Chains A and B, each alone.
Chain A
């Protein structure tokens, strides 16, 4: 029983990450009709916002104390991060919470990158075939990766979670099962965070006038344009929003997965499968499929399942995709007319 509950938690957690990336992908596809293969690179750029923020916070002054020596006999260097020297306790706190705090940096940076990407490159490919869009965005992803590698190297850079959330939490206590189901604090935070972001995106689209216009534009772009609304500009903002969602997902994932320049690609392929299974252009479908595939992947990795069907954990996601597409060719919640001539 414990094992099954733990695998459900794992699946939800994994699904949270898939859903956040797939949500941005499908948002861009639904509004602009672009298949954005650079979306994984945006997730990675978000993670590197956290790395950069942490590096900035750890810029330190070095004072050599001639009176004290190290074990090797050289004068002792006393290193103090500038933030801690200037801000005192708050600086120490900020350093500890550098990962969540770097969201402050990631939101404007990712919004800018998203908008610049849409205006500078992607908009030239709206009327081109999907294959062209895939090629150009995939190429862009490689360029972004290589730039990041040039500055940060190819080795993963560990990012610690805040001390308070570094340990494990007994989920069993919430379910009246006592000290069971030990689960890392940060993964629980990540799950809650992904639910909050998904909720916020849906609230933005469903409850605000801006979101309503965007939804109308997704449905019938031409008519919205006839009403005198500059729908193109709103879609550009949506592209920026998708970049922000991918970016903050990347920021919060850094304590779980030490970021390196290639991390986006690992998630991109899975996220595309999530979008296809959920139904192209369907936001709800992307979220549902994200959680579904996350949980199925976790169960397929259990020893009991693997002993029955060896290697099932390698292929489960693709197997489910094949079955879903055979039964429902438009995906779980896909609508008629999307990507169909």
Chain B
């Protein structure tokens, strides 16, 4: 048996040594944490934002519009023009003198709607140009990839056009934010409206783009419509980028469904909707009711692509510059006097329900 002899002096010594030992890592961590939180801390009188938008590829038109909207926002933040929406925000710390007294500058890159190109562009803007924040994009895949990079580098990422439920929240990225609404919100916003328009006793057939966004939208819309009392006949996954949807549309005709829900976006939606209308779905009567098509998410550009086929179709879209409220008017009027066209709604900050 060993007797441990502890006196007051040795206890104090040990205690002090342990205290220093425990505190030392905190000292280093605190420094690292401060640096991490302030990656690209602006030291001059400007602060740089990075706009990472698709300027080539299938979403080039959306990207050009996104860039237009970002440029307009920078002008307003810096107090140029009439200040736009900055004047209608309450409460706000923005005074039209930039951000915290520093003028806003920006750089932009072409994300090409490709994850690797988007990551390269964001990296360049952060490391070379000193961007303190990255925003933009046109697909949930790109948003997830760029968000991961921004998380590693400690830079704020504001996701652009992404509608997937999984973009934010799921992976718990502290630097990731979104202004675009998600599929869950589309379901919640759309269900009461289509329930009122088409009734509570409906049988829905889903055609879904076979990737993350399509799956989350299908899940959200299914949940929202089934809560209404609708029945889901079946949900069919279609390959991303299929040009011809005839082989997926003809089975709808004899399935007993009276609503077709198209979980497609971009060109996929333009093609599937155009072709579904050509197959006469909207002229049909099933179960004693008029057959209807619902497109839970679409944008103004997609509506243009689909032409007459989109008339009378319910769906959700982002903030629309044609809304009649004070903030919208503020943003609309100066922009319209300066440019021949307004940025499309996919690039604004709030969801709205729409029927073309």
Interface residues of chain A, those whose CB is within 8 Å of chain B, are: 2-3, 6-7, 10-11, 13-14, 17, 149, 153-158, 160-161, 166-168, 182-184, 186-187, 255-258, 260, 262-263, 266-267, 297-298, 301-303, 306, 313-314
Q: Mark B271-291, 1 if CB is under 8 A from A, else 0.
A: 100110011100100000000
B57: which A residues are within 8 A, CB to CB?
154
B241: which A residues are within 8 A, CB to CB?
266
A80 CB to closest chain B CB (Å) equals: 20
CB-CB nearest in chain B for A6: B250
B61 CB to closest chain A CB (Å) equals: 5
Query: How many inter-chain contacts with C-beta < 8 Å in the A-B complex?
Result: 104
A2: which B residues are within 8 A, CB to CB?
253-254
Interface contact A187-B246, CB-CB below 8 Å: yes
B10 CB to closest chain A CB (Å) equals: 71
B105 CB to closest chain A CB (Å) equals: 28
Interface residues of chain B, those whose CB is within 8 Å of chain A, are: 57-61, 210, 234, 236, 238-239, 241, 243-244, 246-248, 250-251, 253-254, 267, 270-271, 274-275, 278-280, 283, 301, 304-309
Given A3-B250, A154-B61, A302-B251: A258 in contact with B305 (beta carbons within 8 A): yes
CB-CB nearest in chain B for A255: B278
For A156, A167, A260, A313, the residue with the greatest tally of chain B CB atoms inside 10 Å of its CB is A156
B318 CB to closest chain A CB (Å) equals: 17
- For the complex, what is the distance from the CA of A156 to the CA of B278, rounded to whole Å? 17
Q: Which of A156, A184, A260, A297 contacts B247 (CB 8 A)?
A: A297
Interface contact A158-B305, CB-CB below 8 Å: yes
Given A160-B307, A182-B279: A258 in contact with B246 (beta carbons within 8 A): no
Given A13-B246, A155-B301, A182-B280: A260 in contact with B267 (beta carbons within 8 A): yes
A11: which B residues are within 8 A, CB to CB?
247
Interface contact B236-A153, CB-CB below 8 Å: no
Interface contact A156-B239, CB-CB below 8 Å: no
5 A-B pairs with C-beta separation under 8 A: A158-B270, A161-B278, A258-B306, A267-B243, A313-B247
A186: which B residues are within 8 A, CB to CB?
278
Interface contact B283-A167, CB-CB below 8 Å: yes
- For the complex, what is the distance from the CA of A257 to the CA of B244, rounded to whole Å? 8
Interface contact B244-A156, CB-CB below 8 Å: no
